[in-house]
Amino acid sequence: MTATTEHRSRAGRSAGGSSGGPLVIRRGHRRLGHPRRRRSTLLTLLTAIMLIYTLLPLAWLAINATKTQTGLFRSFGLWFDRDFALFGNIADTFTYDGGIFTRWLLNTLLYVIVGAGGATLLATLAGYGLAKFDFPGKKAVFAIVIGAVAVPGTALAVPTFLMFSNLGLTNSPWAIIIPSLVSPFGLYLMWTYAADAVPTEILESARVDGAREFQTFFRISLPLLSPGIVTVLLFNFVVTWNNYFLPLIMLKDPDWYPLTLGLKSWNAQAATAGGEAIFNLVITGSLLTIVPLVVAFLLLQRYWQSGLAAGSVKE
Amino acid sequence: MTTAQASPPGLRAAPRTRRSWTGWRFVGPFMAVFAVVFLAPIAYSIYLSLFRTKLIGGTTFVGADNYLKVLSDAQFWSAFGRVALFLVVQVPIMLFLALLLALAIDSGRLYGTSFFRISVFLPYAVPAVVATLMWGFMYGTRFGLIGNLDDLFGITLPDPLSPSLILTSIGNIVTWEFVGYNMLILYSALRVVNLSLYEAAEIDGASQLRIIWAIKLPALRGALLIATIFSIIGSFQLFNEPSILKSLAPNAITTYFTPNIYAYSLSFAGQQFDYSATVAIVMGVITMIIAYVVQLRGMRKGAGA
C-alpha cells in the first residue's frame, strides 16, 4: 500500500461518487471510500438482486405503457405487445375526457410551485433565524416544532378539513397550498445547514458595517445557503407532487385534482357501473407522473445526497 | 461541513449575538402558518373530541365519553392490531435490507457503486398512488404478472389481493417504496466514520465482519434510531396504499383496515366527526408514546456502549 496507489484509488472512487472537483484529492477525516479495496463480483451479484427488486416494477410500468387496452390483456407483462402504442397512449392520456390530464398536470404544478416553493422560503427564513439569532421564545419554538414532527400528519387531516370547511376554503387550491407551506423537516434541515454554512463572524462584521438584517440575509447568507435550499426544495417538491391524502379529503371537484388523485379516479372508473376501463391510460399517466421526479432526482443527486447526510447524521 | 460529533445547532448556536426580537422577523412567518395548519387543528380536534352530535338533540358536551368509547371499540383495536403486526414484521425486514444495502454500497467492493445507490433510492421519488397502482396491477390475475405466471406454468398462485395475503402485499409495496430512503440515511452515517479507524483495525488484523460489528454498527446506532422512529410513525399512519388498493381488492380491505382508514371512513362516510377526531387523537398519542419510548431506549443503549 504505497501512497501512490492509495491516492489513485481514492481519486477513482470519488470521481464516480461525489461531486468531483477539489474534493477528489481532499484528505480530511471525511472518508471518500475504502482505498485498496478489491471489487467483488459475488457481492455485486448479490446486491443486484435488490436492484432487480427496485427496478422491475418501473420496467413493468415502462413496458406496459406501450400497450393498448387489449394489448395489456393478451401479452406477457414483461415483454412488448405486437402493437407499439406508447405515443398513441401519450396522446390519448392528454386528450381523454376533454384533456383533463393536462388540467391535473397544471394543478400539480401550481401546488408544487406555490406550495413547495413557499414552504422552502418559510423554512429557509426560519431555519436561518433559529440558527443565527437569539430571541425570546426560541426554546419554545424548538420544543413545539420538534414535538409537531412526531404528530402523525394524517391525524391532523380531519380537523384541518373541518376548519377549512367552516372557512369555506375546501374544494379550492388554497386547501392544498396552505397546509403544504409548512415543512418541519425542511425547517430542521435548513437549521442544521445554516448553523454550519453561515459563519457568525461574517454576520457580526456586516452588522458593524451597519447593514440591515434582511440586507445581510439576501446579500451574504442566501448564496451560502443555496445548496441546502436546493435540497429542501427537492424534498418539498417530492412531498407536494406525491400528495394524496390531503387532496383526497379536501377536493370534490375533479377540475382541482392533482395528478395523483386524478390517476386514482381513472383507475376507480373501471370498477363503477358503466365506467369505461382505461388501464392503458392509467399506466401511461402513471409513467408520465413519475418522469419529472426521476429526472429531478437524477440531475440533482449531488444535492439530495449531501443534504440528507447533513440532516440524518445529527441526532 | 458537518461532523457526527456536532450537537444539535439551535440552542447554543449564537452565543455572541445579542438577544433581541430580530430573530422573530425570520421565524415569524413560518410560525404563523404553522399555527394555522398544525396547532389550530390539534386544538380543534381536542375540542371536537369532547362533544357528540346527534341528529336529534344537537351537540352535547360528553367529556371523556368518546375516549372511553374508542378504548372499548373492537373495530379500532382490530385496526390497531393490524398496523401493530405490520410494524413488527415489515419494519425489521425493511430496515435489515436497508442495512445490508448500505453496508454493501459503503464497502467499496461493488462494481458501479453510484449506479446502485441511485437506483435503489429511485422508488422514493415515485408517488404512493403510482407505486400502489403499479404493484396492484402486477399482483392482478387479469393482466398482472401473477396472471402471466399462472398461464405460463399452468398453475394457480395464491392471490396477493385476497384477504389473507393483502397485508403482506401492502408490506411489500411499502418496503419497495422506502428501503432506498432508509439505505440512504444509514449510508450517510457510514460515510462520516473516520477512515483511520478502519486502517487501525486492519493493522490489528480484524476481519471485515469484525469491522462491521465493532465499528460500523455502533456508528449506525443514531441513524438506525431515526429510521426506526420514522418507520413507526409511517406504519401507524398507514393509509394511502390500502386506500388505493381498495378499488382492486374491495373484499380484502374493510372500512376499519387501519386506524387512519377508520378515522377517514367515520368522517366522510359516517359524518361522525367528533368520534373520528377522537380516534385520530388516540392514535396520535399512542404513536408519540411509542416513538418516545423507542427513542429513550435507543439513547440509553447508546450511552451504555
Q: What are the DSSP calls for A90-142, one per residue?
A: HHHHHHHHHHHHHHHHHHHHHIIIIIIHHHHHHHHHHHHHHHH-B-TTHHHHH
Query: How far is residue A88's CA from residue B9's CA, in Å, rounded to a whole number?
Result: 54
Cα dihedral sign for A109, A114, A116, A121?
A: positive
Pick from B128, B152, B281: which is nearest to A244 by CB? B128
Q: Across residues A136-140, what is the average pLDDT? A: 87
| Residue B61 host element (H or E) | strand B58-61
Task: Show residues of chain A in contact with B263, CB under 8 Å.
Answer: 154-155, 158
Is residue B249 one of the residues assigned to a domain?
Answer: yes
Determine how many CB atoms are found less than 10 A away from the CB of residue B265: 19
Residues B199-217: b if buried by 16+ CB within 10 A, e if exposed: eebeeeebeeeebbeebbe
Residue A35 has pLDDT above 70, yes or no: no
Residue A237 has pLDDT above 60, yes or no: yes
Query: How far is residue B233's CA from residue A122's CA, in Å, rounded to a whole number?
Result: 25
Q: Does A294 touch chain B (CB under 8 A)?
A: yes
Considering chain A, what percentage of its residues have pLDDT values greater than 90? 30
Helices B113-121 and A3-16, interaxial angle, to 10°?
Answer: 30
- pLDDT digits over A71-123, tens only? 888 788 888 888 888 998 999 999 988 889 999 999 999 999 999 999 999 99
Residue A234 has pLDDT above 50, yes or no: yes
ipTM reported for the complex, 2 dp? 0.84
Q: Does B301 touch chain A (CB under 8 A)?
A: no
Query: How far is residue B142's CA from residue A231's CA, in Å, rounded to a whole number?
Result: 41
pLDDT band at A152 (very low <50, low <70, confident <90, very high): low
Number of domains in chain B: 1
Is residue B10 one of the residues assigned to a domain?
Answer: no
Task: Kindly list the averaged pLDDT for each block of 10 residues, start to end, along chain B of length 305.
Answer: 41 54 89 90 88 76 87 94 95 95 88 88 91 90 79 82 91 95 88 82 84 86 86 89 88 90 87 87 88 81 52
Domain, as residue range, for B101 = 65-304
| Cβ contact B228:B87 at 8 Å | no
Query: How far is residue A280's CA from residue A267's CA, in Å, rounded to a whole number?
Result: 10
- Rounded to the nearest angstrom, the minimum Cα separation between B216 and chain A is 13
| pLDDT reported for residue B65 | 87
pLDDT band at A154 (very low <50, low <70, confident <90, very high): low
| pLDDT reported for residue B7 | 42
| Cβ contact B102:B187 at 8 Å | yes
Write out the three cell numbers for B117. Answer: 445507490
Is residue B39 one of the residues assigned to a domain?
Answer: no
Residue A314 has pLDDT above 50, yes or no: no
Q: Does A70 touch chain B (CB under 8 A)?
A: no
| pLDDT reported for residue B303 | 52
pLDDT band at A5 (very low <50, low <70, confident <90, very high): very low
B7: CB partners within 8 A, 6+ apart: A314
Compute the radius of gyration of chain A from its Cα atoms.
24
Top pLDDT among B270 and A47 is at A47
The structural domains of chain A, ordered by start, are 3-74 (no CATH), 86-313 (1.10.3720.10)
Query: How far is residue A297's CA from residue A301's CA, in Å, rounded to a whole number?
Result: 6
**Chains A & B: contacts with CB separation below 8 Å:** 371
- Residue B295 maps to which CATH number? 1.10.3720.10
Query: How far is residue A125's CA from residue A222's CA, in Å, rounded to a whole number?
Result: 10
Q: Chain A, 88-107: which have a CB under 8 Å from a chain B CB?
A: none
| pLDDT reported for residue A4 | 35
| pLDDT reported for residue A11 | 33
Is residue B36 one of the residues assigned to a domain?
Answer: no
In chain A, whose CA is at the least distance from the CA of B94?
A50
Helix%, strand%, coil% for chain B, nearest 5: 70, 5, 25
Q: Chain A, 142-161: which have a CB under 8 Å from a chain B CB?
A: 142, 144-145, 148, 150-161
Task: Show residues of chain B in contact with A55, CB under 8 Å.
Answer: 119, 122
In chain A, whose CA is at the least distance from the CA of B224?
A312
- pLDDT digits over A168-204, tens only? 999 999 999 999 999 888 888 888 888 888 888 888 8
Does the beta-carbon distance from B21 to A138 stay under 8 Å?
A: no
Top pLDDT among B115 and A20 is at B115
Does the beta-carbon distance from A58 to B118 stay under 8 Å?
A: no
| pLDDT reported for residue B294 | 86
The burial class, CB within 10 Å (0-12 / 13-18 / 19+), for B245 is buried
Write out the three cell numbers for B131. Answer: 407505486
Is residue B214 one of the residues assigned to a domain?
Answer: yes
The burial class, CB within 10 Å (0-12 / 13-18 / 19+), for B17 is middle
Q: Chain A, 105-134: which have a CB under 8 Å from a chain B CB?
A: 122-123, 125-126, 128-134
